[in-house]
Amino acid sequence: MSLILPIKQVFTADEVATIRTHLDQASWVDGSLTAGSRALAAKRNQQLDENDPLGQKLGDLILGALAKHPVFISAALPLKTLPPMFNRYRDGETYGRHVDNAIRVVPGTATRVRTDLSATLFLSAADEYDGGELEIEGKYGSQSIKLDAGDLILYPSTSLHRVTPVTRGARVAAFFWIQSMVRSHEQREMLFDLDTSIQSLTSAGIQGAVQDEDLNRLTALYHRLIQQWADT
């Protein structure tokens, strides 16, 4: 999947402010404690402990919002989602080029999740900090991502990516991984394009027997492909 997709306004400015009020008072730990052997030298940031009740509460809030977000559902087709974690970069902290682990375990369980998609939810306004861009390498080169607070970026977990050093302020974000019902990145992207076209044509209010029949055929094709490609 070459798609690197920004998803706007998962949370409003007021909702982000409430989340940040809690996070700014939280106890942060060294992010290297959760780094794998290859990532250890590249990772310099802070995180909430994965057992912190605050992180679990805010993670549930994020998952609840995404479960109602049509663009996220259409793009990710989620089967399993790891509980969101939270990180903070400041004072030159950075995370060098790396690829996320292909399999992760839900903390405290034996449940394994294949990491098809990675997600970062920005919780700092873009003008709050300098640096801190999420740089993602894709088939068309590197993209530098720095979104508004409350926006989310969704991208393939197989992508090489890094967070550039934060030279002013603090970059606060949530991050997590999704196992999709559709393993193939290419198939998932085609389904997203098809669903987006169906929704666009429906919203345009096109009417008439011929147009309705065309939409019905497209919708039937979408669901036939889901039945063929999806795991449940």
78 and 57 in a single domain? The answer is yes
48 and 117 in a single domain? The answer is yes
Nearest one of 106, 114, 77 to 3, comparing CA atoms: 77
What is the per-residue pLDDT for 202? 87
Domain boundary among 139, 164, 180: 180
73 and 110 in a single domain? The answer is yes
Percent of the chain with pLDDT over 90: 84
Nearest one of 71, 84, 76, 74 to 8, comparing CA atoms: 71
Domain boundary among 141, 159, 180: 180
78 and 144 in a single domain? The answer is yes
Q: Which residues touch 137 (CB under 8 Å, ≥6 apart)?
A: 97, 159, 160, 161
Confidence label for 229 from pLDDT (cuts 50, 70 and 90): very high
Tell me the pTM.
0.92
Q: Averaging pLDDT over each range in 22-36, 39-53, 164-178, which range is the top one?
A: 164-178
CATH of the domain at 82: 2.60.120.620
What is the per-residue pLDDT for 168? 98
142 and 46 in a single domain? The answer is yes
141 and 45 in a single domain? The answer is yes
pLDDT reading at 178 higher than 60: yes
Burial class of residue 95 (count of CB atoms within 10 Å of its CB; 0-12, 13-18, 19+): buried
- Report how far residue 109's alpha carbon sits from residue 105's, in angstroms, rounded to the nearest whole number: 7
Q: Give the max Cα distance, the chain.
A: 62
192 and 147 in a single domain? The answer is no
- Report how far residue 158's alpha carbon sits from residue 178's, in angstroms, rounded to the nearest whole number: 12
93 and 78 in a single domain? The answer is yes
What is the per-residue pLDDT for 81? 97
Domain encompassing residue 132: 5-180
pLDDT reading at 34 higher than 90: no
Q: What is the pLDDT of residues 40-67, one digit of tens each?
A: 678 999 999 989 999 999 999 999 999 9
pLDDT reading at 21 higher than 90: yes
Q: In 10 A of CB 50, how many CB atoms?
A: 17
Token pair of 159 as six digits: 């992508």
164 and 204 in a single domain? The answer is no
Token pair of 88 as six digits: 């903070």
190 and 168 in a single domain? The answer is no
Tracing tokens 């949370």 back to the chain, one arrives at 11
Q: Which helix (H) or strand (E) holds 7?
A: strand 5-7
Q: For the chain, what is the domain count?
A: 2
- Amino acid at the residue 29: V
Domain boundary among 180, 198, 218: 180
17 and 125 in a single domain? The answer is yes
196 and 122 in a single domain? The answer is no
CB-side exposure of 147: number of CA atoms within 13 Å? 25
CATH of the domain at 215: 4.10.860
* Contact between residue 195 and residue 202 where contact means Cβ atoms under 8 Å apart: no
